Amino acid sequence: MNFLKLFEMQNDLDSKIEKQHGLEEEPLLEKKILALLVEVGELANETRCFKFWSLKHPAEASVILEEYVDGIHFILSLGIEIGVTDGVEFDLAADENSLTAHFVLVYEKIAQFEKSRSEAHYLELFRQYLLLGEALGFSPEEIEAAYVKKNEVNHDRQKQGY
Ligand SMILES: O=c1ccn([C@H]2C[C@H](O)[C@@H](COP(=O)(O)O)O2)c(=O)[nH]1
């Protein structure tokens, strides 16, 4: 994944959103953390991985991927908030955790990052979210392409006064 390119695209989008809504001087980190927590919940809901009481099938892979890359947006955006915009590289070894365990770990990492706001915890969060993507069956190429597509949708939404 070309993280440098993704951070640049996210920075362009965030700058446009902040300008459009007159928020250039506003602290937005806490809201972005809540936005990420919400996105992870929406993603979990689409997978239905934890709904042991239901027989309904998960959403289509394309729907799950779009939800997943909403989270990538907010993670990149959080990186920009704390000054991490480059030099991100991950060595991901697939693990045996269940999908549900992956989600719980992502929530844990978000909570740790929220407390410390440190670069080290940020990178742990990003890594855990990429492991979740792998557990969902998405390749880095698929994730990058879906991110680029959704980033464009987000630009269009701003143009249309979303
Ligand atoms: O500062 C922001 C605010 C929002 N988004 C993007 C991330 C998600 O792709 C999308 C979430 O929008 P909703 O569909 O949840 O409204 O907006 C950003 O990239 N940066």
For ligand 1, the distance from its centroid to the CA atom of residue 27, given in whole angstroms, is 16
Ligand 1, pocket-test mutation among 66, 77, 157, 162, most atoms within 8 A of CB: 77
| Average pLDDT in the chain | 96
Q: Reduced to 3 states, what is the DSSP secondary structure of residue 84?
A: coil
* Predicted confidence (pLDDT) per residue in 99-133, tens digit: 999 999 999 999 999 999 999 999 999 999 999 99
Residues 6+ apart with CB under 8 A from 102: 128, 131, 132, 135
pTM, 2 dp = 0.97
For ligand 1, the distance from its centroid to the CA atom of residue 17, given in whole angstroms, is 9
Helix axes 61-82, 119-135, angle to 10 degrees: 170
- Residue 150: other Cβ atoms inside 10 A: 19
